């Protein structure tokens, strides 16, 4: 296996937080009302501190995917995330929909967000997660060009990192795969994301689901990886404005406490997991 986890570890667990704040509302849903923005403010001012306190008690180091807009709007929260030893990764400029961008705009927004990372964090992010987990035909090439080590946006595997291949779609004959990218992919899934299950967006037709059902699903997926997949990487995607709600963060702590009883788990940031990757 290309992953060489630390001695005694049979599985990596990576908790990732999408610190979208205002950006998911203004960029993702095109909602700029005070009501919508207040939900992003809750994530920054309430959700982030709650998660940082939880991770500190459990001694977890995590990866925070942060749009440039969140970096410059809530710099004190970014300082707190870094101060607790967590990793900041790129997540777009303002949670833009990549498919709606005009020629050259994706490159321009990449340059802006990287400048914002340098301004606020003083460092260049090693990893990227596209807003809304979407790619264009240019995205992979831009990630290579701008020197990213890894990405976490695509769904071509479940528990195994891999190198994605571009696809030329054909309808009457087989689709054609191109050469694999040089940027390692840590795959994601909506099944391990809190937003679809517990965040209510009336215009999008989403519902307020049962958080107990969500955690039961997360546990079922974990159990499969733990028991059946060698050197698995289990990646959770959280949003401070979702999981930071009182009933959710309390249930999340209960969920994590249960996982910690399993032997052989390595709790790590995605860049730490990347450091164990040895391509064959």
Tell me the whole-structure pTM to 2 decimals.
0.96
The C-alpha atoms of residue 36 and residue 222 are separated, in whole angstroms, by 33
Residue 243 predicted with pLDDT over 80: yes
Q: What is the pLDDT of residues 91-147, one digit of tens each?
A: 999 999 999 999 999 999 999 999 999 999 999 999 999 998 999 999 999 999 999
Residue 1 predicted with pLDDT over 70: no
Element (H, E) at 34: helix 34-42
Q: What is the mean pLDDT of residues 240-246?
A: 98
Pairing, β 232-238 against β 11-18: parallel
Residue 207 predicted with pLDDT over 80: no
Average pLDDT, the chain: 96
Per DSSP, the three-state class of 260 is coil
For residues 14 and 270, the answer to whether their CB atoms sit within 8 Å is yes
Q: Domain spans of the chain?
A: 11-274
The C-alpha atoms of residue 102 and residue 214 are separated, in whole angstroms, by 37
Rg from Cα positions in the chain: 18
Residue 204 predicted with pLDDT over 80: no
Q: What is the pLDDT of residues 39-76, one digit of tens each?
A: 999 999 999 999 999 999 999 999 999 999 999 999 99
Give the fold, CATH level 3, of 11-274. Answer: TIM Barrel (3.20.20)
Residue 209 predicted with pLDDT over 90: no
Which among 138, 125, 34 has a CA at the least distance from the CA of 78?
125
pLDDT at 279 (0 to 100): 78
Long-range contacts of 97-101 (CB under 8 A, 24+ apart): 97/27, 97/28, 97/131, 97/132, 97/134, 98/130, 98/131, 98/132, 98/134, 98/135, 98/136, 98/139, 99/134, 99/136, 101/136
The C-alpha atoms of residue 98 and residue 92 are separated, in whole angstroms, by 9
């Amino acid at each position: 296996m290309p992953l060489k986890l630390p001695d005694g570890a049979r599985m990596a667990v990576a908790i990732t937080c999408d610190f979208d704040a205002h950006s998911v509302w203004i960029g993702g849903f095109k909602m700029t009302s005070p009501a919508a923005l207040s939900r992003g403010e809750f994530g920054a001012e309430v959700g982030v501190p709650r998660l940082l306190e939880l991770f500190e008690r459990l001694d977890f180091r995590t990866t925070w995917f942060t749009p440039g807009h969140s970096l410059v709007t809530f710099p004190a929260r970014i300082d707190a995330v870094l101060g607790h030893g967590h990793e900041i990764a790129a997540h777009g400029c303002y949670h833009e929909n990549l498919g709606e961008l005009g020629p050259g705009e994706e490159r321009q927004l990449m340059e802006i967000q990287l400048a914002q990372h340098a301004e606020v964090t003083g460092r260049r992010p090693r990893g990227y997660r596209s807003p809304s987990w979407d790619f264009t035909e240019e995205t992979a090439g831009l990630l290579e060009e701008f020197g990213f080590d890894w990405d976490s946006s695509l769904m071509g595997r479940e528990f195994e990192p891999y190198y994605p291949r571009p696809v030329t779609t054909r309808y009457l004959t087989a689709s054609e795969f191109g050469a694999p990218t040089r940027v390692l992919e840590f795959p994601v899934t909506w099944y391990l994301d809190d937003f679809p299950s517990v965040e209510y967006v009336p215009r999008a037709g989403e519902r307020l689901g049962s958080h107990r059902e969500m955690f039961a699903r997360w546990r079922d997926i974990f159990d499969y990886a733990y028991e059946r997949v060698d050197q698995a990487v289990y990646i959770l995607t959280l949003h401070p404005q979702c999981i930071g709600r009182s009933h959710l963060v309390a249930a999340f702590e209960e969920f994590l406490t249960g996982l910690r009883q399993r032997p052989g788990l390595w709790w790590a940031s995605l860049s730490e997991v990347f450091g164990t990757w040895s391509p064959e």
